[in-house]
Each structure stands twice: as C-alpha cells, then as structure tokens.
Amino acid sequence: MDVSELLDDLNKPQRQAVAAPPGHARILAGAGSGKTRVLVHRIAWLIQAEGFAPANILAVTFTNKAAAEMRGRIENMLGYPIGGMWVGTFHGLAHRLLRAHWQDVDLPQSFQILDSDDQLRMLKRVIRAMDLDEQQWPAKQAQWFINAQKDEGLRAKHIQAGHDPYSQKMLAIYAAYESSCQRAGVVDFAELLLRCHELWLKRPDILAIYQQRFRQILVDEFQDTNTIQYAWLRLLAGDSGHLFIVGDDDQSIYGWRGARIENIQKFHQDYPDADTIRLEQNYRSTGNILAAANAVIANNRERLGKALWTEDADGEQVQLYHAYNERDEAAFIVQQIAEWIQQGGQRSETAVLYRSNAQSRVIEEALLQANMPYRVYGGLRFFERAEIKDVLAYLRLIANRLDDAAFERVVNTPTRGIGAATMGQCRQHARELNLSLWQAATEMLQEKRLPARAANALNQFLTLVDSLTPVDSSITLHELTALVIDESGLRSFFGKDSSEKGQGRIENLDELINATREFTAPEEAEAMTPLDAFLSHAALEAGENQGNKWDDCVQLMTLHSAKGLEFPLVFMPGMEEGLFPGQKSIDDPARLAEERRLCYVGMTRARQRLTLLYTENRFLYGQGMLQRPSRFISEIPAEQLHEVRARQHSSHTGLAAKANTDSSLSDIRQGQQVMHTKFGPGVIIDSEGTGSHARVQVNFKHAGTKWLVLAYAKLEFL
C-alpha cells in the first residue's frame, strides 16, 4: 500500500488524525467511530510517510487478541513484517521489560507470574502465617486492598497507617505479602507495572534507552488506564516521545478496578499542545441501535459530550424480549441464533453479553442442548482449570524451586501421604529461618526431623521434581510436559475418575501437551528458556486464542470483555434492576453511571440487531427472585424499541409452571378490556399458548403494546 492509500478509506477527521504531523494527539470519540482503525492507520502512516522504523513504535491495546490483530492489520497494509514494533497490553509490555532487566529489578531470572487465583492463595497463606482469623481478615479483601494500592503506585512502606485497626492490619498483610512474593520470586499482575515504573525511576539510564527508542507511543482505550499506567506512559514519553491516545469517556468501565476516567482530561492539562480530534460518524451500528445507545448514555452527567451519527439505514428496532425466567430467556436466544444461521448467518457473528459470569451457565446449557458450538471468553480460562494449574505448578517448581505457591499446590497432589502436620512443620521451619518451603523441606530431611513415613513421602516428592528437571535443552517443552503429567501421577489420578468430568480433565491434560507443542515463544522471549516463556504465556494469556476449532462458535462473554469488539447480532440478557444495574450501584450515583456506560458499551457492540432480554423470575446466586426490568430499558425511546415474542414456545418448567387457572386462555377474547396495575387500562389484541405459557398482547392506552404472561400479569378483566 503506498502512502496515499493509507488515507483512502477514512473520513476527513480520521484522515486528519492519521496524517497529523508528529506530536501529541488525543482522539476523543464515541463507540464505533473508527478510533481503533485510526490508530492502526496512524502506525502505518508513521512508518510509511514519516519514516519511523517499526522499532520506534510502541502500541498499547486492551487485550492480547487486539494486539495480535493490530500487528496483523499493519503488516497487511505495509506488506512486510514489523517485528521490531512493540504492541501489547500494559501487563504484557511491562512483563517484557522486566524479563529484559530482571537483575535491575531484583528478581530471579526465572521469576513467575501469579494470576489472580494464585495471588489469593498466596494471601491466604500469608494471613494464616500471621495467625490472623481468616474470617475477620478475608484474603479477598486484602487482595482488593493490595491491588488498589499497587494501581496507585503505592507500596506498603509508602502508606501511612491510619489509626483504625483495619487499615493497620491491611498494611501489615500487604507488607508480609510483599516479602513472601519477593522470597518466592513471583510477581502478581499489578506488580508487573509497579516494578517497571520503579525501574524507570531509579534507573534513568535504562529509561533513556527506551525513551530514545520508542519515539511514538500509541494507546487504545485510554479511558481505562489507571494511575500507574498513565505515570508509566508519561515517563516513557519523556520530553521527546509523542503520545497518541484514543479513548471514549463514555466507555470507561473499569473504575472499580482503579481506572481513572479523569486521565483523559489530565492528558489535556499535561500536554496542552496536544491536538484533540473528535470523530462523530459511527460506522458500526444501524441508526436505531445508535439512537437507543445514545439515549441511554445521555442520562449520565459529567460527560465530555459528543454527538454520534450514522449514514447507515435505521435498520430494525432494538428487540426487547420479556421472559418468564432465565431458561425461557436462554431458549429465546438459542431460537434466534438458529434462525440467523438458517438465514445464512454465521454462529461467530452472534454474541451473548452478560453482566455477571454466573449468567452464562443457563445459556451454555441451552446451547449445548441445541448442539450449538459456543465459546466463553474470559470465564474460567483454559490455564485456570484445576488440572492444568496442577501441571503448571510442577513446571513452575521445575523452573524455580523458590516458588512456594507451586510447592503448596502439588506437594500432595496427587496424594502421596504428605499430611497437614508435615506441611505445618515445613511452613514453620521456613518461617523461622526465612527459607522457601523447598529449602525448609530439604533441611528437615537432612536433619532427620520428620517421622520416617512422612520423611519418605516428602523425599519422594523432592526427588521427583529433581528428576523431572531437565539438565540440558535436549528435551523439548512438550516432552517435558508429557513427562510431568505421567510421572507426577496426575494422569493416572484423573484417569481413575471415569465420569465425564474426569474424562474432560484427561482431555485437558492432552490439550496442554498440544498447547506446549504448538507454542512458539514470542520474539521478546528470546532470552528466556522455552519453559519460562511458556509459563509467562500461560499466566498472561487471557485465554483469547485457542486455535481454529473455536472459529465458528456463538460468542459468550461478559460485557466488560466485549470492549472494542463488534458483532452483527448481539443479545444482552438479564436487563433487570439489581442485576444490571447491579444491586450495589443502585444507590451510588458514581457506580450507577459506570453501569450505564457498561450498558452503552454493550449496546454499541451490535451492528445489525440488538436484543435486550429480561426475566420476571430469575434464579441467581442460589435464590429465586422476582425481577423488575432495568431502568436502562426505560431510557430507550419507544420509537427504537420493539417488544418481541418467541415464535414457538418450548416447554417451560419451574417458576412459571403454576398457571393462574382463573384466567385460562378460553376466557380471553380479542377486544377484551383489561386493567393492569402498572400499565393501566388496555385492550387485548392477540393471544397465544396455553396454561402456564398463555400470553396475551395488550394495547395499553398509555403504555403502548406489550406481550404479557397471563400467569403473572394479574390483569383485571373489565
């Protein structure tokens, strides 16, 4: 592609942004207006027209998948590989830097990454070791506290303990956790960035090398950067680097995790000479979808404000489906997807976006029953499954004997007679002498401090790990993995379970061997052993890429993980008060505003058809509840909303089973005048179904036309 072609399929403000002279710039624009597209073209432009080397460019994306796509698109445009360019998530980039400078940041060369589940386990151990009551000091709370501090760039030593016992104790846990991590040579996600930031502060010489290299820094989804990320960017840009940031204040949805929407304005103050470019034309969604989303977000105050319009046709109205319960809701979604496919659509063009992970189960069951392949993003990731983590823990211990978390996980998995008492002694010995568990166990064996049986078992474990540890590079990563799975006894342990679950575990173990066989270390991992590179990949990879077999699948994910994506057909189930917006945000204006932004993000993922669903009864978190439709539904203008019903009802069980026999369908006739407690007076214009499935369509005088379930509507017949 030559230079002028890079601007061909862009509109005027997009072109202006792409071809702006090198300098700081801020692209502020609503969903689907081409921000990500502009960023991609901008990189190609910098290389092609401004003569920057790919190595001068660093781009930050929100997911690994987005990073891979971005690189692919730019290489396509330019027609050659751009290996020297760095593109990745904040975590991925910081990790790469720490690997390159492990000595300068005081980490062992084969340091390992703790994912959030590992972090929680580590904290539990720390809290137990401090002799604290785990009920009173839940690890989860400490995890929140610690991550929030790290996101603000604060270590335990930076924080002044308040007078209240709570913050004093949290600080003490934070400090103990820090030293445990340091001793074990492990870093959690937030630590990656914090430590990288500290490296730059304490080693200006190293920072200068990167400042000279990365003269162009581009950041997508800037509205969700947190304090430390922004500080990191500012340091890297220094006086000479240029920051090109794109974002949308209406799509800031990670405030609960420390993101600072105000970074967008701060950027403006920090870089007053930066151009601000606004994009207002939306290329993604139909007119109706866009109007509906715009109307919802208009209810938020303190917006930077922008208008979005489209040349696209109005398209269909937003569909609204009122379900009896979550099974009905799921059945409707499956039915609609089946129709879409019948009409020639692809499964991968359809997405179900939900507020809470717990909602996916019922939908998954319905899809399974209908034999419809699907994949869940961001749920339990492949690398987070218990059996996979067991194998990874062996591998981690092979890579790094100091890794106490890994030691704890597999010392007695599968069971080999190392009991709680033995482990208790090991822990105590480790604590007293400030040793790793591995060292403590070794010493205790040498000093013969354990009863014979326990000593034997422990010795077997240590010998096993030693014997699995490669002495040279002649054994490949997948051979090693296969060996670990067999020799550790994990394969025969899971093999004994002949249930479907047990079999699934064995399949997963084999899939892990495949994954290691297919794994090619990214170029930044050249200094690492293949094992270290793979372990980092397993911790950082968000389960986004799992090969082609996922290709034509219905896409299931939380609203949060749908950011930046688009699909022709989008379903948003669970549009109910208490679920979306969530219960805790109902009385908190700031949280409510964030929920509304999340709703806006969800709605604007849809290109052609958007379907919102809510149920009257929902069984969630272990209890049945009567639900009210989400306020976000009522914020959509009537012109954009169309209530739909299932074409043919599948059988419904459960809460809706007991029909109100008083008003069975035989009593119903068109033209019947009715009164509804909420919608007021109306006339029945249609009906369908029988018994508990009986529904009527009522034309309400003041509330428009609605389908109601007879069993619930409590209609008064006039």
Ligand X SMILES: Nc1ncnc2c1ncn2[C@@H]1O[C@H](COP(=O)(O)OP(=O)(O)OP(=O)(O)O)[C@@H](O)[C@H]1O
Selecting among 35, 215, 260, 695, the annotated active-site residue is 35
The contacts of residue 515 (CB under 8 Å, 6+ apart) are 382
Q: Are 54 and 83 in contact (CB under 8 A)?
A: yes
Would you call 36 a catalytic residue per the annotation? yes
> In DSSP terms, which residues pair with 682 in a beta bridge?
674, 700
The two tokens of residue 242 are 């240029």
* The total number of residues written for the chain in this structure: 718
602 is in an annotated binding site: no
36 is in an annotated binding site: yes
Build a one-symbol-per-residue string for 237-276: x at contacts with ligand X by CB under 6 A, - elsewhere. -----------x--x-------------------------
Q: Which H or E element spans position 696?
A: strand 695-700
Spatial distance between the Cα atoms of 646 and 641, rounded to a whole number of angstroms: 16
Spatial distance between the Cα atoms of 148 and 125, rounded to a whole number of angstroms: 20
Residue 20 CB, nearest approach to Mg ion (Å): 18
Would you call 605 a catalytic residue per the annotation? yes
Choose the one of ligand X, Mg ion, none that binds residue 10, judging by a C-beta under 5 to 8 angstroms depending on kind: ligand X
Contact region for Mg ion (CB under 5 A) — 36-44, 255-263, 338-346, 689-697? Answer: 36-44
The 8-class DSSP code of residue 252 comes to -
CA 673 to chain centre: 49
User: Does residue 153 bind ligand X (CB under 6 A)?
Assistant: no
Choose the one of ligand X, Mg ion, none that binds residue 33, judging by a C-beta under 5 to 8 angstroms depending on kind: ligand X
Hey, how many other C-beta atoms are within 10 angstroms of the C-beta on 507? Answer: 12
Spatial distance between the Cα atoms of 615 and 573, rounded to a whole number of angstroms: 8
Among 284, 396, 596, 609, binds ligand X (CB under 6 A): 284
User: Does residue 31 bind ligand X (CB under 6 A)?
Assistant: yes
Contact region for ligand X (CB under 6 A) — 24-32, 341-349, 429-437, 457-465? Answer: 24-32
Phi, psi of 618 (to 5 degrees): -135, 135
Hey, how many other C-beta atoms are within 10 angstroms of the C-beta on 665? Answer: 17
Closest to ligand X by CB, 170 or 290: 290
User: Does residue 325 bind Mg ion (CB under 5 A)?
Assistant: no
Would you call 251 a catalytic residue per the annotation? yes
33 is in an annotated binding site: yes
Choose the one of Mg ion, ligand X, none that binds residue 37, judging by a C-beta under 5 to 8 angstroms depending on kind: ligand X
Q: Are 389 and 116 in contact (CB under 8 A)?
A: no
Q: How many residues bind ligand X (CB under 6 A)?
A: 19
Closest CA to 356 of 587, 579, 617: 579
User: Does residue 33 bind ligand X (CB under 6 A)?
Assistant: yes
User: Does residue 309 bind ligand X (CB under 6 A)?
Assistant: no
Selecting among 89, 112, 225, 251, the annotated active-site residue is 251
Build a one-symbol-per-residue string for 35-64: x at contacts with ligand X by CB under 6 A, - elsewhere. xxx---------------------------
Hey, how many other C-beta atoms are within 10 angstroms of the C-beta on 461? Answer: 21
Residue 112 CB, nearest approach to Mg ion (Å): 32
Coil, helix or strand for 496? coil
162 is in an annotated binding site: no
Torsion angle in degrees (nearest 10) through CA of 114, 116, 120, 125: 0
175 is in an annotated binding site: no
Among 247, 564, 602, 682, binds Mg ion (CB under 5 A): 564
Selecting among 375, 605, 607, 609, the annotated active-site residue is 605
The 8-class DSSP code of residue 650 comes to P
Closest to ligand X by CB, 294 or 663: 294
The contacts of residue 437 (CB under 8 Å, 6+ apart) are 404, 407, 408, 411, 426, 427, 430
140 is in an annotated binding site: no
Closest to ligand X by CB, 7 or 207: 7
63 is in an annotated binding site: no
Choose the one of ligand X, Mg ion, none that binds residue 31, judging by a C-beta under 5 to 8 angstroms depending on kind: ligand X
Residue 356 CB, nearest approach to ligand X (Å): 22
Spatial distance between the Cα atoms of 355 and 253, rounded to a whole number of angstroms: 12
Choose the one of Mg ion, ligand X, none that binds residue 94, judging by a C-beta under 5 to 8 angstroms depending on kind: none
Q: Are 641 and 317 in contact (CB under 8 A)?
A: yes
Closest CA to 41 of 79, 3, 67: 3
526-559 CB burial, b ≥16 within 10 A, e <16 = eebbbbbbbbbbbbbbbbbeeeeeeeebbbbbbb
Spatial distance between the Cα atoms of 585 and 599, rounded to a whole number of angstroms: 13
Among 13, 34, 573, 602, binds ligand X (CB under 6 A): 34
User: Does residue 400 bind Mg ion (CB under 5 A)?
Assistant: no
The 8-class DSSP code of residue 484 comes to H
30 is in an annotated binding site: yes
The contacts of residue 51 (CB under 8 Å, 6+ apart) are none
Coil, helix or strand for 243? strand
User: Does residue 36 bind Mg ion (CB under 5 A)?
Assistant: yes
User: Does residue 413 bind ligand X (CB under 6 A)?
Assistant: no
295-304 CB burial, b ≥16 within 10 A, e <16 = bbbeebeeee
User: Does residue 283 bind ligand X (CB under 6 A)?
Assistant: yes
User: Does residue 14 bind ligand X (CB under 6 A)?
Assistant: yes
User: Does residue 16 bind ligand X (CB under 6 A)?
Assistant: no
Q: Are 568 and 388 in contact (CB under 8 A)?
A: no
Write out the E strands in 523-582. Answer: 554-558, 567-572
The contacts of residue 712 (CB under 8 Å, 6+ apart) are 324, 616, 656, 660
Closest to ligand X by CB, 41 or 652: 41
> In DSSP terms, which residues pair with 556 in a beta bridge?
352, 376
Which residue number is nearest to ligand X in terms of Cβ?
34
Residue 354 CB, nearest approach to Mg ion (Å): 21
User: Does residue 10 bind ligand X (CB under 6 A)?
Assistant: yes
Would you call 615 a catalytic residue per the annotation? no
Closest to Mg ion by CB, 35 or 322: 35
Coil, helix or strand for 33? coil
Choose the one of ligand X, Mg ion, none that binds residue 457, judging by a C-beta under 5 to 8 angstroms depending on kind: none
Selecting among 14, 36, 143, 310, the annotated active-site residue is 36
Among 13, 153, 241, 564, binds ligand X (CB under 6 A): 564
Closest to ligand X by CB, 61 or 481: 61
Residue 265 CB, nearest approach to ligand X (Å): 18
Spatial distance between the Cα atoms of 400 and 625, rounded to a whole number of angstroms: 49
Among 1, 3, 5, 9, binds ligand X (CB under 6 A): 9
Would you call 220 a catalytic residue per the annotation? yes
Selecting among 191, 221, 248, 594, the annotated active-site residue is 221
Closest to ligand X by CB, 70 or 395: 70
User: Does residue 11 bind ligand X (CB under 6 A)?
Assistant: yes
Which residues contact Mg ion by CB under 5 A? 35-36, 564
Binding site feature residues:
29-36
Binding site feature residues for ATP:
29-36
Which residues contact ligand X by CB under 6 A? 9-11, 14, 29, 31-37, 248, 251, 283-284, 564, 566, 604
Active site residues: 35-36, 220-221, 251, 605
